[in-house]
A and B are shown apart, each in its own frame.
Chain A
Amino acid sequence: MTLLDFASGPGLQWALWIFMFGVVWRLVGALFLLSRKDLTKPREHNSVAAGLGAVISRSAPAHAFEKRILFQHVTGYVWHFALFISVLFFAPHILFFESVLGFSWPHLPNTIILVTAIVATAVLIALLIRRATHPVQRFISNADDYISIFVVLIPLVTGILAFTHFGGRYETLLGIHVLSVDVMLIWFPFGKLMHAIMTMPARYQAGTAFGRRGVKA
């Protein structure tokens, strides 16, 4: 069995199982801790609208904070967009998603994906450097923060190498790429990559909590 066969066969299978199992476990386990019902009389508001509003509004910082977090805000956007485009609109990736989800969507030309992947990699490295040097980030960071960056960085780098056939035989590079994705999927539920799932409930509950007090979250 070659590296690629393992990575995209049993490796991927176990990784997907652990990913699904872990994500649902963690999400359900957190939500099911339940919270006391807020019995205070809310101001006039629509709870669902407020929750969904926060899901959207928290994508941009409030005015007073804009300047202080400009770097993180901009890099955050560039990073996520570049990542999503690279992951979701590369034709070979879509074939994988199609095999899992049962439906597909249009892809972008490979040259665009190459550019977004390189941008994403560059931004992630910049964010890694910032985490290691910025006083606050360096101080608060733990192993999870670095592991999570690396398990995302490696698929990006190996993906670019595999795509450009740089530094080894294609199937070896692809094997390493898929294997690194396996590792990422396995780590996902246990580290802070889980934020990708938790963002929605977290913002939603903030939106409803602030909304009932008549405050835009």
Chain B
Amino acid sequence: MRKDQSLGEYLRAQGVSRRGFLKFCSATASMMALPPSALAQVAEALENARRPSVIWLSFQECTGCTESLTRSHAPTVESLIFDAISLDYHHTLQAAAGHGAEEARMAAMEENAGEYLLVVDGSIPVDNPAYSTIAGISNLDMLKETAANAFAIVAVGTCAAFGGLPHADPNPTGAVSVSDIITDKPIINVSGCPPIPVVITGVLAHFLTFGSIPELDALGRPVAFFGQNIHDRCYRRPFYERGQYAETFDDEGARKGWCLYKLGCKGPTTYNACATLKWNAGTSFPIQSGHGCIGCSEPDFWDKGGFYNPISAGNWGSRDALLGAAAAGAALGVGSALAARARKKKAQAAEGA
């Protein structure tokens, strides 16, 4: 796709019929969690959309986010989205390596200054910049440099969005999120470990379609995908209401597909689209497969007292400490009573009675 071509022109040139385009549009609208009634608007916007430049930086990450994206739906409608953007730098995917790769990045930044979209996965170590470098450039420097002229930043995955696993206690690298460093650019947090691929492409589609960033929640996540918690959209919710819970992973309740709250499901406090979009092309999602939600799209999900620790059990420490507190209370109680009795004895002696 040439830079001066609109998406409509590009698709037609690819031999895609108008029917095919409409199908693409309705799949895209669905992907962006837009109502079907928005189809005409989407079609018109996409028809005239121009090809944006995208630079993808990977820092302290596991490549799971990229895997999620590239392994799931390709080569399909979503891949067209990727065809429709100019992915100018992605050191895992691009053919170029070494200086060539860095030159591509610099060129894209220069050419599209103020217009390119920066996608980041992975967290940024700030304790020591040498913990993670690319081409000898520390993650921190590369982020600052690349973000400076970006139109907006998409922080893909919980690491980039909130620090993620590297940030987990005791955070040996001093890992931080993109938004901890960049404060003067719009940042879209597409959290999840990994994020639902459709959500990643949905955000890109939104940018492609409307040239703007979608509506965000308090944590910078697109409301369209993160507006509701898993629990509220979970098909097992009726069991919660009726108080029917699986007590173990192999009991009658588990077999009958009852609520997994007691097994530590974090659905009630986790905002993501898993319960509706599901995974693997809409096949299933963790709760459907019988495991509670681990809350991977929420900040610090790794440090919330255990995946199998029910939300309401709290994270209150050890029983021994409680007994210790009771023992200290008993000691103080005895002590205070002894002191009071000594004073009372003195008062009685003074009476001489």
C-beta contact mask, A15-36 vs B, less than 8 Å → 1, else 0? 0111011111111111111100
Instruction: State A30–B329 Cα separation when bound (angstroms).
Output: 12
- Number of A-B contacts defined by CB within 8 Å: 136
Tell yes or no: A152 within 8 A of B by CB.
no
Of A44-52, A91-99, A124-132, the one contacting chain B is A91-99
Tell yes or no: A111 within 8 A of B by CB.
yes
Tell yes or no: A1 within 8 A of B by CB.
yes
Q: Are B330 and A25 in contact (CB under 8 A)?
A: yes
Tell yes or no: B312 within 8 A of A by CB.
yes
How far does the Cβ of B158 sit from chain A's closest Cβ, in whole Å?
Answer: 14
Q: Are A28 and B329 in contact (CB under 8 A)?
A: yes
Q: Which of B322, B328, B329, B338 contacts A100 (CB 8 A)?
A: B322
Tell yes or no: B340 within 8 A of A by CB.
yes
Given A2-B299, A9-B316, A12-B315, A24:B329 Cβ within 8 A:
yes
Q: Are A29 and B300 in contact (CB under 8 A)?
A: no
The chain A residue sitting closest to B344, CB to CB, is A33
Q: Are B338 and A32 in contact (CB under 8 A)?
A: yes
Instruction: State A110–B241 Cα separation when bound (angstroms).
Output: 6
* Set of chain B residues within 8 Å of A99, measured between Cβ atoms: 309-310, 313-314, 316
* Set of chain A residues within 8 Å of B305, measured between Cβ atoms: 8-9
How far does the Cβ of A92 sit from chain B's closest Cβ, in whole Å?
Answer: 3
* Set of chain A residues within 8 Å of B243, measured between Cβ atoms: 91, 107-110
Q: Are A96 and B312 in contact (CB under 8 A)?
A: yes
Please report which residues of chain B, range 185-238, place their CB below 8 angstroms from some CB of chain A when the two chains form the complex.
229, 231-232
Q: Are B333 and A91 in contact (CB under 8 A)?
A: no
Q: Are B328 and A21 in contact (CB under 8 A)?
A: yes
Q: Are A25 and B332 in contact (CB under 8 A)?
A: yes
Given A12-B315, A96-B314, A170:B240 Cβ within 8 A:
no
* Set of chain B residues within 8 Å of A193, measured between Cβ atoms: none
* Set of chain A residues within 8 Å of B241, measured between Cβ atoms: 109-111
The chain A residue sitting closest to B240, CB to CB, is A110
C-beta contact mask, B295-329 vs A, less than 8 Å → 1, else 0? 00001100011000111111111010111011111
Tell yes or no: B181 within 8 A of A by CB.
no
Instruction: State A204–B232 Cα separation when bound (angstroms).
Output: 49
How far does the Cβ of A96 sit from chain B's closest Cβ, in whole Å?
Answer: 5
Given A9-B305, A24-B333, A109-B242, A174:B326 Cβ within 8 A:
no
* Set of chain B residues within 8 Å of A33, measured between Cβ atoms: 337, 340-341
Instruction: State A20–B309 Cα separation when bound (angstroms).
Output: 23
* Set of chain B residues within 8 Å of A2, measured between Cβ atoms: 299-300
* Set of chain A residues within 8 Å of B323, measured between Cβ atoms: 20
Tell yes or no: A192 within 8 A of B by CB.
no
Tell yes or no: B70 within 8 A of A by CB.
no
Instruction: State A216–B317 Cα separation when bound (angstroms).
Output: 46
Tell yes or no: A165 within 8 A of B by CB.
yes
Q: Are B232 and A165 in contact (CB under 8 A)?
A: yes
Residues of A within 8 A of B (CB): 1-2, 4-5, 8-9, 12-13, 16-18, 20-34, 91-93, 95-96, 98-100, 102, 107-111, 165, 169-171, 174, 178
Residues of B within 8 A of A (CB): 229, 231-232, 240-243, 245, 261-262, 268-269, 299-300, 304-305, 309-317, 319, 321-323, 325-330, 332-334, 336-338, 340-341
Closest 5 CB pairs of A and B: A28-B333, A24-B329, A92-B312, A32-B337, A29-B333
